[in-house]
Chains A and B, each alone.
Chain A
Amino acid sequence: MDAKFLFEILVRENAKMLIAYIRAAVSDHALADDIWQETMLVAWRRLEEFDRNRPFAPWLRGIAARTIIARRRTASRLVTLENAASLEHLGERLERVNSLKGDTLDEKLDALRDCVARLSDSDRQCIELRFLEGLKPAELSQRLNLALETIKKRLARAKQRIHDCMQQKLQDAGVA
């Protein structure tokens, strides 16, 4: 089995987790895709520097963090988490999600989907329209015929409930 094939396996195992990390730090999807590819290319180039006794994902996130910080100089408007400490905290938070049950991030995200399913109908509708259909708050306001402020409050309340639900699930899973 050649190195590229083995690298592809590592890429597939970590692809989704890495894009979730980058998208949390960057507001533009095209820029996130660019950073994702750049991170993977740097990882490939430096594969020999990787310490095999350590997990791959944090090493990959380290490269991504440096790439994000470098991109801040040319695309500051689109980089929302701009300092190393924030990116480190983001990595720690993502690692907690990684501790949830499931082989892939998609399976681990079942916990999040369950939290969404537990919301009230009106909150769930807002969250699904926002993240499934990708509607912006102003578009949500038009679609649901509600004031923009009401939509913003509803989204904030729903996200807080999802956050609390996830905290409980992480605690139940024994994740500190």
Chain B
Amino acid sequence: MASELIAEERARVDDALLESLLHEALGGSDANDEARITALLLKLDSLGVSTGRTSSTGKWRPSSRWLPLAIAASLIILSAWIFWNDPARGQAYAAVIRSMRAMDAVRQYRVEATYRRRLVGERSFVADLYLDEGDRFVVRLPSLLGRSEVWLGGTPNDRWLVPAHGPVLVGGKSVTAGWLANSDSETPYFYLATVLERMSRAYDLEMLEPEELAPLWDGSQRVLCDHVVGSRREGSSPRLPAKIELWADKNSGVAQRIELDWKRPESGFGPVHWTIKLAGYPDLADDWFDYTGHCRDDHIVKNAGTVADLEAHTID
């Protein structure tokens, strides 16, 4: 059928493919790829998928109430198996799993990120990240020109954005993806649970000697932390950080500090280094994890269906 295409249409297809590949080769974002995959996996989870079996009607098999128990059991069995075969690695794995589960209080993290981009060179930004007990997050980011701030929040599937000027934008995660790609802030790494989950699955883990860290909010205190270093396993996505280090409170398991290092050569572009430090347990307003907590009452709210809608607004 394709052979019947007229030359003009073939040329149009070739041009469209070349444009798409150029976007991917020059402007492709690791984080957007990872976000797409994470969203798919979360969607499969939300549909109650655990083993890939579908019912005879082709519809999703309803989620079993035993599923969480089954997942917990498989994690325990996997931990036990690793521990049995390699106690040091087992401890490291257990520390990461424990940290994944220690998400039972509202926390604030300070994020310091460095990127390297073609033509522009290295750039850094500092952001404040807030996580609730569930799956909501809020980030305060510097705006593109650094004169004011932007608030971004949401869940794994939904996003809202309160820009410095213009209407509040509410929509699916793809709504903010284009803007984020340009602002150097890439959301998958704002989900600490995702970082830790990847660390437990795609990295070779090593437990180092425990270390004492001074909390950002009280330099006089010391928190004894498990220190785990993860090196990206061969065969894992080269877009993931080459090395992830985790310092987790030995008592509570709460992540105190996470460092992501892509170990990029001088000629490489993309994220270079992220440091995420626990900055405290703030008492936040009830609407903090909603856009209403970060804009005026009379702010116009736009349901932004597409990235184009978003890009139509000046964000500074």
Counting residue pairs across A and B whose Cβ atoms lie within 8 Å, the total is 163
> A59 contacts the other chain (Cβ, under 8 Å)?
no
A76 shortest CB reach to chain B, Å: 15
B178 sits at the interface (CB 8 A): yes
Q: Are B52 and A116 in contact, CB atoms less than 8 angstroms apart?
A: no
- Number of residues of chain A lying within 8 A (CB) of chain B: 61
- B266: CB under 8 A from chain A? no
**Contact: A30 with B306, CB < 8 Å?**
yes
Against A, the Cβ 8 Å flags (1 = close, 0 = not) of B14-30 are: 11111111111111100
Query: How far apart are the CA atoms of A148 and B51 in the complex, in Å?
Result: 55
Determine if B24 and A89 form an interchain contact, defined as CB atoms under 8 angstroms apart: no
Interface residues of A in 66-90 (CB under 8 A from B): 80-81, 84-86, 88-90
- A109 and B24 contacting across the interface, CB-CB below 8 Å: yes
Measured CA separation A47–B43 after assembly (Å): 17
In the complex, chain A residues whose CB is within 8 Å of the CB of B60: 45
Judge whether A85 and B5 touch: CB under 8 Å: yes
The secondary-structure label for the interface of chain A is helix
Minimal beta-carbon separation of B46 from chain A (angstroms)? 11
Query: In the complex, what residues of A have CB within 8 A of residue B41's CB?
Result: 4, 8
Is A153 an interface position by the 8 A CB rule? no
B156: shortest Cβ distance to chain A, in Å? 13
A147 at the interface (CB under 8 A from B): no
Q: Are A24 and B22 in contact, CB atoms less than 8 angstroms apart?
A: no
Which interface residue of B12, B25, B49, B308 has the most chain A CB atoms within 10 A? Answer: B25
Complex Cα distance, B33 from A106, in Å, reads: 12
Shortest CB distance A82–B (Å): 11
Q: Which residues of B contact A8 (CB under 8 A)?
A: 37, 41
- Chain B positions 10-67 with a Cβ under 8 Å from a chain A Cβ: 10, 12-28, 33, 36-37, 39-41, 43-44, 49-54, 58, 60
Is there contact, CB below 8 Å, between A113 and B25?
Answer: yes
Interface flag for A176 (CB, 8 Å)? no
**Distance in Å: Cβ of B10 to nearest Cβ of chain A:** 6
Cβ of B270 to closest chain A Cβ, rounded Å: 11
Q: Does B145 contact A (CB under 8 A)?
A: no
B299 in the interface, Cβ–Cβ < 8 Å? no
**Looking at the complex, which of B88-96, B102-110, B169-177, B245-253 is the stretch in contact with chain A?**
B169-177
Chain A residues, CB < 8 A from B39 = 37
Q: How far is the CB of A53 from chain B (nearest CB, A)?
A: 19
Which residue in chain B gives the minimum CB-CB distance to A36?
B36
Asked whether any CB of chain B lies closer than 8 Å to the CB of A151, the reply is no
Which A residues are in CB contact (< 8 Å) with B18? Answer: 159, 162-163, 166
Q: Is there contact, CB below 8 Å, between B28 and A24?
A: no
B238 touches A44 (CB 8 A): no
Contact B13 A23 (CB under 8 A): no
Q: Which of B9, B20, B43, B60 has the most CB of A within 10 A?
A: B20
New A-B contacts (11) at CB < 8 Å, excluding given A112-B25, A134-B181: A2-B52, A20-B17, A23-B20, A28-B306, A31-B306, A94-B17, A106-B28, A106-B238, A113-B25, A128-B26, A159-B15
Binding site for B on A (CB under 8 A): 2-4, 6-8, 11-12, 15-16, 19-21, 23-25, 28-31, 33-34, 36-37, 40-41, 44-45, 47-48, 80-81, 84-86, 88-90, 92-94, 97, 104-106, 109, 112-113, 116, 127-134, 159, 162-163, 166
28 pairs across A/B with beta carbons < 8 Å? A2-B51, A4-B52, A15-B37, A16-B24, A20-B17, A23-B24, A24-B16, A25-B16, A28-B307, A29-B178, A29-B307, A30-B306, A45-B58, A80-B16, A85-B9, A86-B9, A88-B2, A89-B2, A97-B21, A104-B238, A105-B24, A112-B21, A112-B25, A127-B22, A132-B117, A133-B27, A133-B182, A134-B178
Query: What are the nearest 9 A-B pairs in CB distance?
Result: A3-B52, A24-B20, A89-B2, A88-B2, A109-B25, A30-B174, A24-B16, A33-B174, A131-B22
